[in-house]
């Protein structure tokens, strides 16, 4: 049985990833910041025999290292960096502490997770690293401005993933950067074009199709390439 590790697994896209991968017969390592607040996830794990929940605060390097040590003998076929935050920002209305926080959670944490779980990934069969980004991180697609905090943190995430592509490809590790679409979640809001089921179903298809020769792609949930 293949194993997937998912961050931000207690709600939205993360929860849907857990649900669909569990149904696809993966061994699912569902990570969330506070297990006691993850009632829906806990209930899902109770009726599934292939979901295990782990407490992980991606903004705290100690918890990342501790979990990596706890799972040191586990092979992780697919790592999905899903956890992220959105902080609104416009010209003249930017909270710089929130900007730093967003870089910590949206950009630095995904790298730290990859770095600390790299041995488990390299010891697996599939060897796939996936980060959930946003089309708002595309410089080419920025035709409206605004959202300085979120855009820049996701652009930096894209750049980090691109570097990992070059550094890990010779070791057989494939990377993929995915835009989930505008999804009706707590982060995306009620006006989204698609629901989490459709988004995650599409993203899992792209992850399943990922081969080492495709490493480094930046795609949306339907497989459409996005310009950097």
Given this model, what pLDDT does residue 63 score?
98
Given this model, what pLDDT does residue 92 score?
96
Q: Which residue has the higher pLDDT, 93 or 187?
A: 93
In tens, the pLDDT along 149-178 reads 999 999 999 999 999 999 999 999 999 999
In order, the DSSP letters of 112-180 are HHHHHHHHHHHTSSS-EEEEE--GGG-STT--S---HHHHHHHHHHHHHHHHHHHHHGGGT-EEEEEE-
Mean pLDDT, the chain, whole residue set = 95
Given this model, what pLDDT does residue 38 score?
94
Judged against a pLDDT cut of 80, whether residue 184 lies above it is answered with: no
Given this model, what pLDDT does residue 113 score?
98
| CB-CB contact of 162 with 151 (8 Å) | no
Instruction: Write down all domains in the chain, each with its CATH number in brackets.
Output: 3-220 (3.40.50.720)
Given this model, what pLDDT does residue 68 score?
98
CA dist 51 to 40, 47, 164, 182, 206, Å?
A: 13, 9, 28, 27, 22
In tens, the pLDDT along 51-81 reads 999 999 999 999 999 999 999 999 999 999 9
Given this model, what pLDDT does residue 192 score?
55
pLDDT band at 194 (very low <50, low <70, confident <90, very high): confident
| CB-CB contact of 63 with 111 (8 Å) | no
Judged against a pLDDT cut of 80, whether residue 35 lies above it is answered with: yes
3-class secondary-structure state, position 181: coil
In order, the DSSP letters of 55-124 are E--TT-HHHHHHHHHHTTT---SEEEE--------BTTB--HHHHHHHHIIIIIHHHHHHHHHHHHHHTS
> Pseudo-torsion of CA 126, 128, 85, 136, nearest 10°?
-130
- What pairing do the DSSP bridges indicate for beta strands 27-32 and 217-220? unpaired
């Amino acid at each position: 049985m293949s194993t997937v590790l998912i961050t931000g697994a207690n709600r939205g896209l993360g929860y849907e990833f857990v649900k669909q991968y569990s149904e696809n017969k993966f061994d699912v390592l569902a990570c969330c910041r506070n297990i006691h607040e993850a009632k829906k996830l806990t209930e899902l794990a109770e009726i599934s025999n292939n979901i295990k929940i782990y407490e992980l605060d991606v903004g705290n390097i100690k918890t990342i290292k501790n979990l990596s040590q706890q799972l040191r003998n586990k092979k992780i076929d697919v790592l999905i960096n899903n956890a992220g935050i959105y902080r609104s920002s416009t010209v003249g209305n930017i909270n710089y502490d929130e900007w730093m926080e967003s870089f910590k959670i949206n950009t630095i944490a995904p790298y730290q997770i990859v770095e600390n779980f790299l041995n488990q990934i390299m010891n697996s069969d599939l060897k796939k690293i996936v980060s959930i980004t946003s089309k708002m991180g595309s410089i080419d697609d920025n035709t409206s401005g605004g959202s300085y905090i979120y855009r820049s943190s996701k652009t930096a995430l894209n750049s980090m993933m691109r570097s990992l592509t070059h550094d890990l490809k010779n070791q057989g590790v494939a990377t993929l950067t995915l835009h989930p679409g505008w999804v009706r979640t707590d982060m995306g809001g009620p006006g989204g074009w698609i629901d989490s089921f459709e988004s995650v179903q599409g993203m899992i298809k792209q992850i399943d199709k990922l081969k080492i020769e495709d490493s480094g792609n930046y795609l949306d949930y339907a497989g459409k390439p996005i310009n950097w």
